[in-house]
A and B are shown apart, each in its own frame.
Chain A
Amino acid sequence: MISYRLITRTIIALASTAATLNAQTIAITGGKVYPVSGPVIENGTVIITNGRISAVGANVPIPAGAQRIDATGKIVTPGFVNSATQLGVQEIAQVSDTRDMTARGKDNIAAAFTVWEGLNPNSVMMAPARKEGVTSFVVVPTGGLIAGQAALVDVVPGTTTDMIIRAPVAMVAEVGDPQSAGLNSRGELIVKLREVLEDTRYFQSHRDAFDRAQTRPFSASRLDLQALIPVIEGRLPLLVTVDREADIDAAMRLARDYNVKLMIGGGAEAWMMADKLAAAHIPILTGAENNIPAGFAALGQRQENAGLLRKAGVEVALIGNAGGGDEEAFNVRNLRQEAGNAVSYGMTWDDALRAVTLAPAEFFGAADRVGSLQPGREGNVVVWSGDPFEFATRAEHVFVRGREYHEKTRQDLLIERYRNLPGTHNAPPPQ
């Protein structure tokens, strides 16, 4: 007992030492501040104390000893939140031992798969994302019918434990691609999902019988069924990756029947049923650069999707580099380009900013932590040289949990090395 108390005291002491070391007050002054949770503040001030936002407003007193950042003429926003990526679980797409976003599961069901367990906080792609203002992201598993569970993390150095804001934040399922689910048709895929949810219900109410081995065989493993209980209880959203209008409709029926809180990912043809999605309060995670009928399930794909959905009242979060292929994780940093294109194709600028900050934070139950500039939120703040969606704009100051990052990326180091070539050839002047 004594030793236990001693240990506890030691931990508290260490923690307070750490807090003292982090005890720093930052005052970002003079900028055009977009809290997202409230109206824009011209010439606003944002105070970060001990890693968290402590004050935001037009007439905020600046604590003595605060480190001042002059943001006059600049734009201040919450750090951007990318709502779906494989950043950290896929370093090099074609190098198999750097890929950790897919579980084998049982019959393509991997509900128990917690993708963040394989997250690599030391990925060299974290710093480029943060450098361009992405301070949080949702890491999602892929593949199969039920791919596994997603987590929301901050882009901070340290361990996965340090990074996690909330885990799990969603269960991920893929509807509309029966082949990848090991099935023959869409209808069969929906039936399979229903069977798993039925089994989850039964498992939930017959745990004792199950433990005595007195239940019928289930379509999924014990751990998978257990992981799905929060989904049928409506506590954990089901994020369904789906494109075709009819498939979205099928997913909505299923969600209604089992009281599942549904979110749609991708949703190429969601705009075709925007009113219904709005009425059912189903949020969408999508991009704004896709317009190719890239398969028979995505014939209606168009860049106006996000804008049309928003106009109809659907809550929308944007995914950085949504149309990206293997380079997706490297280009999470292009979230702001996605937002700019969303504006170009019909979304309001304010909605686009919301779609890369507060909207995903709300979807994933973390609006009390990230996504807006309000007292008590994490000190995830970006000072931009101008309109954050414009290419010529730079993220001049990026704070995550109150710490500013200016570290060199791997790319910066390469450029330093090759900036001045040894001069073995005489280069002609630029043409």
Chain B
Amino acid sequence: MRAFLCLLLIGAGACASAPSRTTTSPTPRDSTQADIGRGATSTPNADPFPSTYIPFPSRTTVIRNVNLLTAAGPLIRNGAILLQNGKIAAVGATVDAPADALVIDGAGKYLTPGIIDDHSHLGVYAAPGGNALSDGNEATNPTTPQVWAEHSVWPQDPQFPRNLAGGVTTLQVLPGSANLIGGRSVVLKVVPGRTVQAMKFPGAKYGLKMACGENPKRVYGQRGGPSTRMGNVAGYRAAWIRAVDYRRKWDKWNADHKGDPPTRDLGLETLAEVLRGNILVHNHCYRSDEMAQMIDIAHEFGYKIRSFHHGVEAYKIADLLAKEGISASIWADWGSFKMEALDAVKANMALVNAAGARVIVHSDDPSGSQRLNQEAAKAMEAGAEIGLPVSEDQAIKWLTINPAWALGLDDKIGSLETGKNADVVLWTGDPFSVYSKPEKVWVDGALLFDRTDPSEQWRTDFELGFVPFNRN
């Protein structure tokens, strides 16, 4: 992790040759900007915890003679890619290597976009775990849109570097599923940072975590409710009724500025932003009947669901998901651990894919997140078994461009296309083989993981002294 060490040492003048990056602290806020219109009105630009992420130092790099799964077209065999200034500058059968470029031979290897996991709890349920690091569920009230996952994220969670080593370059960190409305998610780059702000994906929209079914009623059943699924639904609707009202008051005040502004409410600000389309809904929901009801609730109040998460029964309503333009963030083979997960089938992804809805391989698990490629491979085989073969060109989308879409970032990441962020993974072989591993991982063109070079393996503060080895 040379680059990271340099970054930390820049202030002490220890890395004289480092680029002129001086700080990762936030730009000081101009007090004149702190008017009522910033944050207070829940306008689209409200951004009280702005990203301070700056790409790590990078070299112009060419990887040639490599098989490219682009997520934007067919496999390019023995092709090449140029990473320059943090972007993909060229990709194709051949690229021109600038004189200063580091040239890497990728013979026999594969290159893919960085993997994107849109269902992570890294940082909010950090390792080594225990109550002290259990920060993912604000289980004090079934409706907590006022909480933001980023305020629970521990940047020194040792799970982050392991995720990067698994080829994951972007994560959506969500609150847990104890609550009907669990709070805001945050989109992070899987990079070392002293602060959460330094990991935040610049310009990424927020997500809103909602949860169906057994979890909320189990957590609140003996604590004032909801204790039933019908109680759950009443809870969502009551919250959206308040949100519609809140939004109307603020829209009116923003238009005429008459009298005092309405009183701010953190939770309703978030919900109003959902209604305005500025925050994307990520809805934990297992059963097809419940998903259909959540779709009706979204229609009733005029918001859109971006993705159903877990959706073990997505295959039963794959046509409805396709029609509604809702993605399915699902597992390859988890199931049977609770009643609502009973009807899990391994062909879920292939069936949803065949119906024309967007499939996303998600993890909800710090271990599985490191092997999302293997999860996709299992789902591909399950499809083949029932006569719905899935090509590698398609399956790579489940891991990259589709989750990028779910996060509203498909214009920046998720495919190997000119102009996109240079988030790329070099695999030791076909990523859908159990024997392949990420060899090198670049984020915005900066090499942040190299399996062949222990000095390019990020270790969190926590690991120092405690964890007696480097990954290799």
A residues whose Cβ falls under 8 Å from a Cβ of B = 91-95, 125, 272, 289-296, 298-300, 302, 304, 323, 325-327, 329-331, 333-334, 337, 340-341, 343-344, 389-394, 411, 414-415, 418-419, 421, 423-431
Question: Cα distance A331–B346 when bound, in Å?
Answer: 11
User: Which one of A93, A344, A393 lies within 8 Å of B337 (CB-CB)?
Assistant: A93
Question: Cα distance A341–B371 when bound, in Å?
Answer: 10
Asked if residues B345 and A294 are in contact (CB atoms below 8 Å), the reply is no
Asked if residues B434 and A340 are in contact (CB atoms below 8 Å), the reply is yes
Asked if residues A390 and B323 are in contact (CB atoms below 8 Å), the reply is no
Question: Cα distance A423–B323 when bound, in Å?
Answer: 11
Tell whether A418 pairs with B351 under 8 Å between CB atoms, given A344-B435, A427-B318, A428-B356: yes
Question: Cα distance A329–B337 when bound, in Å?
Answer: 9
Please give, as numbers and ranges, the residues of chain A lying within 8 Å of B469 by CB-CB distance. Answer: 300, 302
User: Which one of A292, A344, A424 lies within 8 Å of B319 (CB-CB)?
Assistant: A424
Please give, as numbers and ranges, the residues of chain B lying within 8 Å of A390 by CB-CB distance. Answer: 433-435
Tell whether A344 pairs with B128 under 8 Å between CB atoms, given A93-B337, A293-B158, A334-B333: no
B471 on the A face (CB < 8 A):
yes
Tell whether A421 pairs with B467 under 8 Å between CB atoms, given A95-B338, A411-B345: no
Please give, as numbers and ranges, the residues of chain B lying within 8 Å of A389 by CB-CB distance. Answer: 434-435
Query: How far does the Cβ of A387 sit from chain B's closest Cβ, in whole Å?
Result: 9
Tell whether A340 pairs with B127 under 8 Å between CB atoms, given A94-B337, A430-B353, A430-B354: no
User: Which one of B319, B339, B356, B378 lies within 8 Å of A431 (CB-CB)?
Assistant: B356
Asked if residues A427 and B467 are in contact (CB atoms below 8 Å), the reply is no
Per the CB 8 Å criterion, the residue count for chain B at the interface is 67
Query: How far does the Cβ of A299 sit from chain B's closest Cβ, in whole Å?
Result: 5
Please give, as numbers and ranges, the residues of chain A lying within 8 Å of B377 by CB-CB distance. Answer: 391-392
Asked if residues A392 and B323 are in contact (CB atoms below 8 Å), the reply is no
B335 on the A face (CB < 8 A):
yes
Asked if residues B367 and A289 are in contact (CB atoms below 8 Å), the reply is yes
Nearest chain B residue, comparing its CB with the CB of A429: B356
User: Which one of B128, B218, B346, B471 lies within 8 Å of A294 (CB-CB)?
Assistant: B128
Asked if residues B380 and A392 are in contact (CB atoms below 8 Å), the reply is yes
Interface residues of B in 350-376 (CB under 8 A from A): 351, 353-358, 365-367, 370-371, 374
Interface residues of B in 397-437 (CB under 8 A from A): 397, 432-437
Asked if residues B353 and A293 are in contact (CB atoms below 8 Å), the reply is no
User: Which one of B129, B218, B322, B380 lies within 8 Å of A427 (CB-CB)?
Assistant: B322
Please give, as numbers and ranges, the residues of chain B lying within 8 Å of A91 by CB-CB distance. Answer: 336
Beyond A323-B367, A415-B351, A418-B316, 20 extra complex contacts between A and B, CB < 8 Å? A91-B336, A94-B218, A95-B338, A293-B158, A299-B466, A299-B467, A299-B468, A327-B333, A327-B336, A330-B335, A331-B333, A344-B435, A394-B381, A394-B385, A414-B343, A421-B317, A421-B318, A425-B323, A431-B356, A431-B397
User: Which one of A92, A296, A337, A431 lies within 8 Å of B374 (CB-CB)?
Assistant: A337
Question: Cα distance A341–B368 when bound, in Å?
Answer: 13
Asked if residues A291 and B381 are in contact (CB atoms below 8 Å), the reply is no
B118 on the A face (CB < 8 A):
no
Query: How far does the Cβ of B130 sit from chain A's closest Cβ, in whole Å?
Result: 7
Please give, as numbers and ranges, the residues of chain B lying within 8 Å of A419 by CB-CB distance. Answer: 351, 386
B residues whose Cβ falls under 8 Å from a Cβ of A = 127-130, 158-159, 162, 214, 218, 315-320, 322-323, 333-339, 341-347, 351, 353-358, 365-367, 370-371, 374, 377-378, 380-381, 384-386, 394, 397, 432-437, 462-463, 466-469, 471-472
Asked if residues B127 and A294 are in contact (CB atoms below 8 Å), the reply is yes
Nearest chain A residue, comparing its CB with the CB of B371: A289
Nearest chain B residue, comparing its CB with the CB of A330: B336
Asked if residues B338 and A428 are in contact (CB atoms below 8 Å), the reply is no
Please give, as numbers and ranges, the residues of chain B lying within 8 Å of A272 by CB-CB distance. Answer: 468
Question: Cα distance A393–B385 when bound, in Å?
Answer: 10
User: Which one of A95, A292, A423, A427 lies within 8 Å of B366 (CB-CB)?
Assistant: A292
22 contacts between A and B (CB under 8 A): A92-B342, A93-B337, A292-B158, A293-B128, A300-B467, A302-B469, A304-B472, A331-B333, A341-B374, A344-B434, A391-B377, A391-B381, A392-B380, A393-B381, A394-B385, A411-B346, A418-B351, A419-B351, A421-B318, A426-B323, A429-B356, A430-B356
Query: How far does the Cβ of A270 sit from chain B's closest Cβ, in whole Å?
Result: 13
Please give, as numbers and ranges, the residues of chain B lying within 8 Å of A325 by CB-CB distance. Answer: 337, 365
Nearest chain A residue, comparing its CB with the CB of B347: A415
Asked if residues A391 and B345 are in contact (CB atoms below 8 Å), the reply is no
Nearest chain A residue, comparing its CB with the CB of B340: A94
Asked if residues A427 and B323 are in contact (CB atoms below 8 Å), the reply is yes
Asked if residues B356 and A295 are in contact (CB atoms below 8 Å), the reply is no
User: Which one of A302, A340, A426 lies within 8 Å of B435 (CB-CB)?
Assistant: A340
Asked if residues A431 and B358 are in contact (CB atoms below 8 Å), the reply is yes
Nearest chain B residue, comparing its CB with the CB of A344: B435
Question: Cα distance A340–B336 when bound, in Å?
Answer: 24
Asked if residues A329 and B128 are in contact (CB atoms below 8 Å), the reply is no
Tell whether A291 pairs with B374 under 8 Å between CB atoms, given A392-B381, A421-B318: no
Please give, as numbers and ranges, the residues of chain A lying within 8 Å of B315 by CB-CB distance. Answer: 415, 418
Tell whether A411 pairs with B344 under 8 Å between CB atoms, given A294-B129, A391-B432: yes
Question: Cα distance A424–B377 when bound, in Å?
Answer: 31
Asked if residues A295 and B130 are in contact (CB atoms below 8 Å), the reply is yes
Tell whether A93 pairs with B128 under 8 Å between CB atoms, given A292-B366, A414-B345: no
